[in-house]
């Protein structure tokens, strides 16, 4: 089943290799997301899919009251060491254990793509953000997932059907799987009703990942939206 616990907790088993690779390859896309952040002093900031807490530690260093949530208990253990002083929870973005309107900023880096229910995570983010609060996230581009589906397929491929896509990162070293998505899952009527989108950027650099074929197409996108 797409989005099953297996897909969500695959980061447990690939943990260290993944973290080393992520640090090496993705510093640039991380910096790009940081550049979109508002001043964090005193702000309540939640990272959905906080992994080993690299981003959460950065938010603490900027004076934030930092929170992180991740389904991988191993990564949360690491995050506790890297970001002491943050509230860190084992859990998923689809069911956030935080009160309505309790956050000023929510961030997420390549976590939404792993969910089989992106609209649910975005709906939870809308519930937990205060009016005027900001959601800043990056996720794998649906067009890229479509390319990945196509590269392994013999027959026709359906963009609109949610399939599990297998792919590799870090020069083929780390295999991952995730459900495919459509762009309208990220831009659903509910999202458009509850958020003002202030920044949307399609990036064609493939910092960590293998490109499917030699075509030029977006790898991920970055979004900044303000809660109405």
Ligand X SMILES: C[S@@+](CC[C@H](N)C(=O)[O-])C[C@H]1O[C@@H](n2cnc3c(N)ncnc32)[C@H](O)[C@@H]1O
Stretches 87-95, 184-192, 196-204, 217-225: which one binds ligand X (CB under 6 A)? 87-95
Identify the residue among 11, 137, 195, 221 touching ligand X (CB under 6 A): 11
Apex 175 CA angle, 160 and 204, nearest 5: 60
Q: Please give the backbone phi and psi of residue 26, each rounded to the nearest 5 degrees, phi first.
A: -105, 15
Q: Tell me whether residue 20 or residue 228 sits nearer to ligand X (CB atom).
A: 20
Tell me the three state secondary structure of residue 218. Answer: coil
Q: Tell me whether residue 19 or residue 143 sits nearer to ligand X (CB atom).
A: 19
How far is the C-alpha of 105 from the C-alpha of 34, rounded, in Å?
12
- Using H for helix, E for strand and C for coil, what is the string for 11-71? HHHHHHHHHHHHHHHCHHHHHHHHCCCCCCCCCEEEEECCCCCHHHHHHHHCCCEEEEEEC
Q: How far is the CB of 84 from ligand X (least distance, A)?
A: 15
Q: How far is the CB of 6 from ligand X (least distance, A)?
A: 11
Task: Please list every residue from 95 through 124 that binds ligand X, using CB under 6 A.
Answer: 109-111, 114-115
Taking CB under 6 A as the rule, which mask of x and - marks residues 19-58 in contact with ligand X? ---x------------------------xxxxxx-xx---
The residues with which 164 forms a beta bridge, in sequence order, are 179
How far is the C-alpha of 204 from the C-alpha of 106, rounded, in Å?
24
How far is the C-alpha of 149 from the C-alpha of 167, rounded, in Å?
9
Q: Tell me whether residue 196 or residue 201 sits nearer to ligand X (CB atom).
A: 201
Q: How far is the CB of 83 from ligand X (least distance, A)?
A: 9
Position 180 contacts ligand X (CB under 6 A): no
Residues that bind ligand X (CB under 6 A): 8, 11, 22, 47-52, 54-55, 69-72, 75, 92-94, 109-111, 114-115
């Amino acid at each position: 089943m797409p989005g099953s616990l297996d897909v969500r907790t695959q980061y447990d088993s690939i943990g260290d290799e993944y973290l080393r690779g992520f640090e090496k390859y993705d510093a640039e896309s991380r910096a790009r997301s940081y550049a979109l952040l508002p001043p964090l002093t005193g702000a309540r900031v939640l990272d959905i899919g906080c992994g080993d807490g690299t981003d959460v530690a950065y938010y603490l260093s900027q004076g934030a009251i930092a929170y992180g949530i991740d389904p991988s208990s191993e990564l949360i253990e690491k995050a506790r060491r890297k970001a002491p002083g943050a509230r860190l929870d084992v859990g998923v973005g689809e069911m956030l254990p935080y009160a309505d309107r309790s956050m000023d900023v929510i961030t997420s880096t390549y976590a939404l793509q792993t969910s089989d229910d992106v609209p649910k995570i975005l709906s939870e983010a809308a519930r937990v953000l205060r009016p005027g609060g900001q959601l800043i996230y990056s996720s794998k581009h649906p067009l890229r997932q479509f390319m990945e589906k196509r590269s392994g397929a013999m027959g026709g491929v359906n963009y609109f059907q949610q399939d599990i896509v297998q792919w590799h990162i870090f020069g083929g070293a780390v295999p991952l799987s995730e459900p495919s998505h459509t762009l309208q899952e990220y831009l659903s009527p509910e999202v458009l009703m509850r958020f003002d989108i202030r920044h949307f950027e399609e990036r064609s650099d493939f910092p960590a990942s293998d490109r499917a074929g030699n075509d030029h197409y977006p790898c991920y996108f970055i979004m900044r939206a303000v809660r109405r």
